[in-house]
Amino acid sequence: MAILVDENSCIICQGITGKNGLFHTIKCVDYGAKVVAGVTPGKGGKWVENIPVFDSVSQVVKEMKVDASMIFVPAPFAADAIIEAAGSGIKVIVCITEGIPVLDMIKVKRFLKDHPAILIGPNCPGVISPGRCKVGIMPGHIHKKGAIGVVSRSGTLTYEAVYQLTELGLGQSTCLGIGGDPIHGVSFIDILDMFEKDPETKGMIIIGEIGGTDEEKAADFIKNHVTKPIVAFVAGKTAPPGKRMGHAGAIISGGSGTAAQKIEMFKSFGIKIADNPAVIGETMKKVLESSLN
């Protein structure tokens, strides 16, 4: 089995008539995802690429089964799109949009406390269960069905790790990016817990970066709750304090959130570290082989 989405997941795209929304929806359909509808206010009744378009999410859920939503709505309206999806009862929400105002995301987080929705993102590449379903912007062709779970704050580094795994013959169960913004949905801990409970996932890769304390919290969770082989990589060893690097949440502030601190905590708990991004896959293979001996 996979976590979050699989070949039976029915998906909608909020913002399907926009350039990016339509482009990536088509890519998801080509990969095999079951995209059942799109949503764009004011364009209900239209069809794009044989997919019906509705004015609202609530209209879609009244007419068909919906398991997940993929959001490509512009940043000023994306928070409302997340809330609309959650309020309509959709359980998995993947928000690709970047640049959502922090105050808007605070409102979203407060709303989600009262709704059983899982938010992935924003500012993320999405989630893919290789060979089954893709909900997002990741390149499907580099993935291979298998048993390694990958969770990351960086889309690009996710692709790099996945490519290495596939080249080494190590397929993936599910891969996802949790997003690089200061306020986001699911955490490392949420996903690591899902991987730990997933019988198909035999090993895990966690890719972090500077800023915040998500990695430190994940390290503590791994120490106490994860029994499967795991490899960690933390980007940003040379990042200067006070300068944001790539993601809105990737900033060393007040001397905290450095890569060195995060790496040291992982190491102190006996978690294997990949020293640079070029050896993430190779390190995972060695850890798996060691766990079998």
Q: Which sequence positions are flagged as catalytic?
A: 247
Strand partners, 136: 126
How many angstroms separate the CA atoms of 284 and 240, rounded? 29
The token pair at 76 is 């000023």
How many angstroms separate the CA atoms of 118 and 14, rounded? 16
Q: Are 39 and 57 a contacting pair, CB within 8 Å? A: yes
Q: Are 251 and 201 a contacting pair, CB within 8 Å? A: no
Strand partners, 149: 204
Nearest to 143 by CA among 31, 274, 240, 287: 31
Residue with tokens 């979050």: 4
